[in-house]
Chains A and B, each alone.
Chain A
Amino acid sequence: MASSTTLLISILLPAVFAVIVFLIPSKLRALRNAFSLIGAAIVLCLGFYLFGVKNAELNIPWLGMDINFDLRLYHLNSLIIMAVSVFLFLITIYSFVKMKEHPRAREYYTYLFLTVAFVNGAVLANNFVLMVFFWESLLVTLYGLIAIGNKEAYKTALKSFILVGFCDFCMILGIGILWYLTGSLNMPLAPLDPSSSGLAAVSCVLMLIGALGKAGVMPFHTWIPDASKDAPVTVMAFIITVIDKMLGIYLFVRISLDFFVIGMNSALSMFLMILGALTIIFALFMTFVQNNLKRMLAYQSIGEVGYMILGIGSATPVGIAGGIFYMLNQTLFKGGLFLSAGSIEHRTGTTDFDKLGGLRNKMPLTMICFVICAVACCGLWPFNGFVSEEMVMHGAKETGYIIFMIAAWIGTALTAASMLKAAHSIFWGKENKELSKIKESELLITLPIIVLALLCIVFGVHNYLPIVMFVEPIFYGYTGFLEHSGFTAHALNFFNPVAITSFVCILLGVIVYLYGWSKNSKNAASSSESVRSFPVLKNIYNLAEAKIFDIYDQGLKFLKVLGYILYYGVDRVIDFMYEKIIAGTVRVVGAILRFAHNGYYANYLAWCIGGLIIIVAVISLLS
């Protein structure tokens, strides 16, 4: 079947382009750009083609033992492949200008294409071992992409490698347990009930850690803000906010729909919703006090993962659909915001709020797009963020626990406040004299942002379109979902209590911001200082900034102490034994043996004959 080989091509083609780009010498930039453009264009076409194909399978014997090179295309992963290919195309155009002067641009493009190849492999894989294979390969490209940032980037790269690697390890462990339970490494068609046995629950939680850790849920999020500082902004926009979120949520959806049964209001669902709510609140509180655009966006993207988890974790059809739709929307507006940040950084060289100001006249396109994406991000009607947020909240409402909705509302308010702060301090506010000669970025940079901003509007105004085309078909074949068809019944309807409360929350966020702004001598950049100095929040913020909540840092500290103990308690002892006993023995025995190899023929012959005698003796004794 032609379409089944296309599945293989969709993995191999980006990899081939990665190799081609890698082989082109760094000096031939035009050639490299040409090839990356062609590659991205072909991948884009392929993405659309596969989305059209919808259903295809490919099964090639691979390692034996039930481990086949088994690819399966269906709606959910074809959607992700298409989205990734669109983003690849946009980011490639964007990078022509943004990564022009980067000394390691060649590696960058190679990793970019490799990442796409691995993502396609990971989402297409219909076998756990195959999926893990691609999944782990992504870890390597993630490391490489972060490491090509600034000088400190390798540390951040290591941090993300270890944190994500830990999550992946959990996932592998979970898969191992699932394998033990079901006896099959092919993606199971019959979902397991995690409450049926302890092992199943453990397996489910472990796999969830793997999926959500990749998406950046608390407490595995700490590498993302660091990466926003150190990694190139394109990497941040494409890999971390788009690919990792998509993959994480993809696996999350697979887990909650295909691998395990997560019932509404079950313990697992509650756990997930609490996790989502906590992530929203914590990350968005951190967002509000950031003074750097990229770092702020990074925290915000973590908070948005919280929304997705809240939606999908609610285990209600509306919630799950909302979570998936939120993921799509988030990639649009957050990608647009990051690219805008890149555009600003490209011209001004900084993204610190207090160094920027008054750019609205100088970079109008960037400004407009930024504002559109920001408004979408706040969830304001009629942009796309509104619809998905409403769906998530309705999902949470259906579970009957209002508290989760309250968390989401708080998040909305905080998002609004922080977006306002960002837009205000960058595009309005006091103009920085050093930036008086700034011009709008090149077309190649603004074009992708414009596309994303337009999509934000289209997906918001015509929200029926993406929901019917992209989201709804995911649930074909799952019982209990299609009855709820018409997820959009209340989506467009602004006048429902939930939506109105959200709107009020946004207003609340604006008021909080304005209060801070006026309190802090009308300086936009420091408007969050008053929130920061609230009695309880102050302590939390101080703790957070001291990286108390960073499990990586805490882990390092723990390891240091452990290392100290081990060093003197175990290592020195073993070292002593090693030095004195093993190395000593080897040295002495070696010396004796070397002395015995004295080069005398008769000596050697004597050994031979001696050996023969012993062998004869042994053989006759034993037989």
Chain B
Amino acid sequence: MNIFLLCGLVCFSALAITMHNLLKSAICLGVASIFLAVLFFRMGAPYAGVFEVSIVAGLITVLFITTIVLTKREGGVKERKLTNIFFLLFFIIFIMIDFFVMKGFIGNLPNMPVGSPNLAENNNFSKVLWQYRTLDLVGQICAIFAGVFSVLALFRADKKENNNE
């Protein structure tokens, strides 16, 4: 199952980059990050997952889409073939390297220091969030604020235009 999720993640990420329509690429990125979040949850990293969902998949995607809608340009950037090929080449090389490194890494995963509170089995999400990562919570609040204000800021022109009309 995880493998499929991983494949989905990689596919959607690659799609997001190579897609010519900005809107579609933004949505792809959002989907990819949701895949990532699910992966996080499944692998027992709930707080990373929460973060991924709230920030990347949620806010950033919203921001993306707003931006793109506001640009009002269909199709957006036209890419040259060469750069795409270039990019794909690097991307594939990187995935290969990544694969080997990770394989080596997982094979020789060093022993974890025992007693680290974050790794205890019985931690549920809220406990993780409240007890051990309080500062991150503040950070999250900041981030949400930032996102909301950004959206507000970006939409203010629309209001102006509407008023003018």
A–B direct contact (CB < 8 Å):
yes
Residues of chain A whose beta carbon lies under 8 Å from any beta carbon of chain B: 598-603, 605-606, 609-610, 612-613, 616
**B97, A613: Cβ atoms under 8 Å?**
yes
Is B94 in contact with A613, judged by CB distance below 8 angstroms?
yes
Please report B residues at the A interface, Cβ cutoff 8 Å: 17-18, 77, 79-80, 83-84, 86-87, 89-91, 93-94, 97, 101
Q: Are the C-beta atoms of A606 and B94 separated by less than 8 Å?
A: no
Contacts of A616 in B (CB 8 A): 97, 101
Interface-central residue, A601, A602, A603, A605, by most chain B CB under 10 Å = A602
A residues in contact with B77, CB < 8 Å: 599-601
Question: What residue of chain A has the Cβ atom nearest to residue B92's Cβ?
Answer: A609
Closest to A611 in B: B90
Q: How far is the CA of A606 from the CA of B87 in the complex (A)?
A: 5
The secondary structure that dominates the B interface is helix
Q: How far is the CA of A600 from the CA of B79 in the complex (A)?
A: 6
Q: 30 A-B residue contacts at CB 8 Å?
A: A598-B80, A598-B83, A600-B79, A600-B80, A600-B83, A602-B18, A602-B83, A602-B84, A602-B86, A602-B87, A603-B79, A603-B83, A603-B87, A606-B83, A606-B87, A606-B89, A606-B90, A609-B87, A609-B90, A609-B91, A609-B93, A609-B94, A610-B90, A612-B94, A613-B90, A613-B93, A613-B94, A613-B97, A616-B97, A616-B101
Starting from the known contacts A601-B79, A602-B18, A603-B86, 14 additional A-B residue pairs (CB-CB under 8 Å) come to: A598-B80, A600-B80, A602-B17, A602-B79, A602-B86, A602-B87, A603-B87, A605-B87, A606-B86, A606-B89, A609-B87, A609-B91, A609-B94, A613-B90
Distance in Å from the Cβ of A277 to the closest Cβ of chain B?
83
Q: Chain B residues with Cβ under 8 A from A610's Cβ?
A: 90
Residues of A close to B86: CB separation below 8 A: 602-603, 606
Question: Chain A residues with Cβ under 8 A from B97's Cβ?
Answer: 613, 616
Residues on A with C-beta less than 8 A from B84 are 602
Instruction: Report A-chain residues with C-beta under 8 Å of the C-beta of B17.
Output: 601-602, 605
Give Cα distance in the complex from A606 to B94, angstroms: 10
Find the residue from A599, A600, A616 having the highest chain B CB count within 10 A: A600
Chain A: which residue is nearest B101 at the CB level? A616
**Which residue of chain A has the shortest Cβ distance to B93 in the bound complex?**
A613
In Å, the complex CA distance between A609 and B17 comes to: 13
Ranked nearest first, the 3 interchain pairs of A and B with the lowest CB-CB distance are: A606-B87, A603-B83, A602-B87
A72 vs B26: C-alpha distance when bound (angstroms) = 75
CB A368 to nearest CB in B, in angstroms, measures 84
Q: Which residues of B contact A606 (CB under 8 A)?
A: 83, 86-87, 89-91
